Amino acid sequence: KQEVTQIPAALSVPEGENLVLNCSFTDSAIYNLQWFRQDPGKGLTSLLLIQSSQREQTSGRLNASLDKSSGRSTLYIAASQPGDSATYLCAVKPGNTGKLIFGQGTTLQVKP
């Protein structure tokens, strides 16, 4: 059974710092991995999707990497800003079917 773990559960950093969020999964046979952002009381916003054949994806200050063989993904946020404060969720798609399996999330606070 696929399980997704995110460490740390919470993180607080000063503005301007670069940071890394971690995601690990137990079964390397995934189709793709998606990183989301969730603001309090809101739905999920898709940040990046990495296909199983890819190693990384970049969007602005965000870079996500994928190492399928070791069952790990990281989300790198450069030059963090208070507006980056949110919960970040990673999710894997276990096959060419619909569902995503989510981690518990990392709640990030960026202090001005």
Residues found near other proteins in the complex (CB under 8 A):
31-32, 34, 36, 42-46, 49, 51, 89, 91, 96-105
For the CA atoms of 13, 76, 60, 94, what is the dihedral angle to 10 degrees?
-130
Q: Smaller CB distance to other proteins: residue 11 or 49?
A: 49
For tokens 């301007």, what's the residue? 16
Give whichever of 37 and 71 is closer to other proteins, judged by the CB atom: 37
CB of 43 to other proteins, least distance (A): 4
Query: What's phi and psi for 48, nearest 5 deg?
Result: -150, 145
**Distance separating alpha carbons of residues 99 and 7, to the nearest angstrom:** 22
Residue 7 or 79 having the CB closest to other proteins: 7
